[in-house]
Amino acid sequence: MRIENIRIFKKRTSRRAALLAEELHKWAEGRGVTAFDDGESAGSGADPDLLIVLGGDGTFLSAVRWVGGRRIPIMGVNLGSLGFLTEIAVEELFETLTALYEGTAPIERRMTLEGEVTRRGEVKERFRVLNDVVFSKTALARISDLEVWVDGLFLALYQADGLIFSTPTGSTAYNLSAGGPIVHPSVPAIVLAPICPHAMSHRPIILGPESKFEVRIRKKNGEVFVTLDGQSGFELEHEDIITVRRSAEDVLMVRSPKRDYFTLLRTKLRWGDKLRTEGDS
């Protein structure tokens, strides 16, 4: 991969991220590569060849929003606690960066979702997410009725605290907490998982990547919101129609050459850890 300029996207409140950014500037300078911090002008105005994220998964998702639909590889360096998206450890940063510079680090394409909110026949909002689109109520709101259609066919009327539409990448986020399945990133699919459904028979469902969903707010008991990648959101109104489908634009994610997806799952979800009880050594 040809790298001539790098943009560093860091968590602004992290002293560790600031120090690491200084090291990245030195690495780049030693190789004739131009490095810019987030918010600085890149001079020519051209897109960077690489975006390096220093922070947690929230910072990574903010970087995805900044990239938009542009084909800019994103390398996530984990300074947070979990790090499913920022999977590269700090001690692996320069090794992975050098491998990328030499063309040996893997870059994966991750599918995204897009859609729009239509209100009284007018498109009010458009969106694109890497992880998920979440419909939810406030703490004091009662269960609302959310009607879901797939490719013009009626699926179900959900009486629930909310719904989650997830990509395979987002399957290990809120979807997993709501009882949804883990989907390998190489599997093109869209997961629909209800949040605390009134009907116990309403289970998560996996549908094909070409499926087009419509969510209609049929009964609103209090405030109902849609949240996009946990980064932004807005309140919905009665009879709003929200469309969700696969986007034509993927996110390019730099992976660690030393870690496969199953190792990531075992590490982050602690699969195989022995249960310890009080008194165990």
Which residues are marked as active site? 57
Torsion of CA 133, 134, 135, 140, to 10 degrees: -160
Specify which residues 113 forms β-bridges with: 129, 246
Rounded Cα distance, 24 and 27, in Å: 5
* Phi, psi angle pair for 145, to nearest 5°: -100, 120
Identify each DSSP E strand in the chain by its residue range: 5-10, 34-37, 50-55, 74-78, 107-110, 113-119, 122-129, 132-137, 144-150, 153-166, 190-197, 205-207, 213-219, 224-228, 232-235, 241-246, 251-254
